[in-house]
Each structure stands twice: as structure tokens, then as C-alpha cells.
Amino acid sequence: MEKLLKELQDKEVGKVLPNEPLANHTTMKIGGPADILVEPKSLEKLQETMKVIDAYKMKWTAIGRGSNLLVSDKGIEGVVIKLGNGMDHFELVGNEVHVGGGYSLIKLVTIISKKGLANLEFAAGIPGSVGGAVYMNAGAHGSDMSKVLKKAHILFEDGTMSWLTPEELNFSYRTSILQKERPGICLEAVLEVEEGNREEIVALLQKNKDYRRDTQPFSYPCAGSIFRNPLPDYAGQLIEKAGLKGHMIGGAKVSEMHGNFIVNDNHAKAQDVLDLIAFIKKTVFEKFGVKMETEVEIIGRK
């Protein structure tokens, strides 16, 4: 590990931090250390990083802005690659947005909407990065990334890279092929926008932002929605009907604002959140016969 660390530092690939607490890099403010955290300063430096990792046969994990993520209290083995500064380029080319995987989705939506360009208003207030949004097919208000993506530049588990179409990404509800069938991360995305009425677009953007602010507890550290909606039911409604709003285990609490959010109320550990997830699953199944599946990604040492 020391040799790997020194080689990454010597190659000046970007920030290289040993034993970095991942609580500093997740929206839930939870997570033990990464053996090494690397934030590459360019796509070229990311490619260099991957060659070094492959040479050492080291495990690696990628994260973006840390939303929709629960990291184990024991941290993550190997190298954690954070797509952040250096992977957050942005360019508008006609009716296409060319954007880095590390770019803030909220920032992107705001900029595009103020230019009088439509299609991304659904994502107003969705935390996280563009790459993460592609990875999980993030969506709201009747739309999602699959409806606006033209192609995505993907880094696969074996270190190879390729551009994939929406069809090849095999999108479905909060899911893409990158999660299980063909693990990978989105480095860049090309999104399709169209000209519209600027005032109407900005008004819809604000409406969606206000709805999220008024119904979801983003003033607390949280990871976003914990469970997928077991359609035709909604996870938050089932949890509320089960009387679980406000229920706490350790420092983790079911939000009193929205049942499908678990907030870090008081220095919660990942284990507190996992125990609360298990309790919610058990209670909802016993009361309603519905099996709940997590939407939040749970990663790290067991």
C-alpha cells in the first residue's frame, strides 16, 4: 500500500490522501476511512491512476459527491476515486450539454434553466453529481436521466473505457447496467436540451426546488431516498402508515418530514442506519406484506 501511495503521489495525479475519513465526502456525514482516496485532476490523470491501480492489482471504488451513499463504519478497502474537481468540466454545444461526471447536478440544472433551455427541470434540488445521476438513473416529477441522456463515457471495473447509449445502459427505475450487470462509473455525459420560454422554465425549476425543500429534510445530513418506491405504493407513505416517522436507533432517525429519509440526527454510525433500515423493512412487511428494497447504495468493509 505504501508503494502504491508513493507512486500515485509521485505521478501528481491529483489529491492523494491516505486513511481519509469518508464521512468528509458523503452527504450523510457517515463513513470510515478509505485506505487511499484519490481525486484526479483530469481525465488523463484518472487514466494514469487506473494504470497504477491495475499494476498493483488493487481494489478500487468510485464515488461522486457522496449522495445516495452509505459507507461502512470500517471504511473502504483499497483506493477510492472521487470524481470532483478536475472531472467537472462543462460545455454547451448547440442543444447538447457536455458535462463531466463530477459536476454538481443542482448547479448544472440551474445554469441550463437560466439560459432558457429545457429538459432538466425535473432534477432541480437532486443532490449529487452528474455521473452519480447517470449511474442510478436519478429522476423526479415524471422524468429521469434516461430521457435526456444521449451518451455516457463509462469507466468499467477492468479499467477500460467506452461511450454507451441509453439503450446500452439498460435504464429502468433508479437503475442502470452499471450497478450490477456491468459495473462502472460515468466519467462524462452528453445531455439533450431544447430551447424554451426562459420564464416558464425558471418558474418550473423553482417550483420543483420549493417542493423538495418543503417536503424533504435536506437541512439534516442524509443520503436522499433510502428505499425504492414499491409501485404502485410509495415507500414514504408505507413507512408513515407503519408509524415509523421519528423512530430512532442510535443517532439515526426516520425523518419526521418524509418517511423515506433517514437522517443523521446525532453522530449516527453506519450501523445505526443499517439497523434502522432492517427494522423498517421488517415492520412494513409485517404490517402490509410489502418487501422494501433499498435505493441508497451501501458500500465498504463488512
146 is catalytic: no
| Gap between the Cα atoms of 208 and 114, Å rounded | 15
Give the Cα separation of 13 and 140 in Å (integer): 36
Question: How many CB atoms within 10 Å of residue 209?
Answer: 17
Contact at 8 Å (CB) between 255 and 239?
A: no
Residue 290 DSSP one-character state: -
Does the annotation mark 295 as catalytic? yes
Instruction: Write out the DSSP string of 62-131.
Output: EESSS-SEEE-TT-EEEEEEE--TTS--EEEETTEEEEETTSBHHHHHHHHHHTTEES-GGGTT--SBHH
- The catalytically annotated residue of 67, 72, 225, 255 is 225
CA distance 126 to 129: 9
Residue 255: burial class (beta carbons within 10 Å; 0-12, 13-18, 19+): buried
Provide the 10 A C-beta neighbour count for residue 165: 10
Find the catalytic residue in 39, 174, 176, 255. Answer: 174
First to last CA, the chain: 20
Give catalytic status of residue 129 as yes or no.
Answer: no
- Rounded Cα distance, 154 and 166, in Å: 12
Angle subtended at Cα 146 by Cα 233 and Cα 293, rounded to the nearest 5 degrees: 35
Determine the number of helices (DSSP H) and then strands (DSSP E) in the chain: 8, 18
> Between vectors from CA 127 to CA 83 and to CA 45, what angle results, nearest 5°?
5
Q: Which of 39, 121, 188, 295 is catalytic?
A: 295
Query: Is the torsion defined by CA of 140, 219, 70, 20 positive or negative?
Result: positive
One-letter amino acid at 273 equals: V
Active site residues: 174, 225, 295
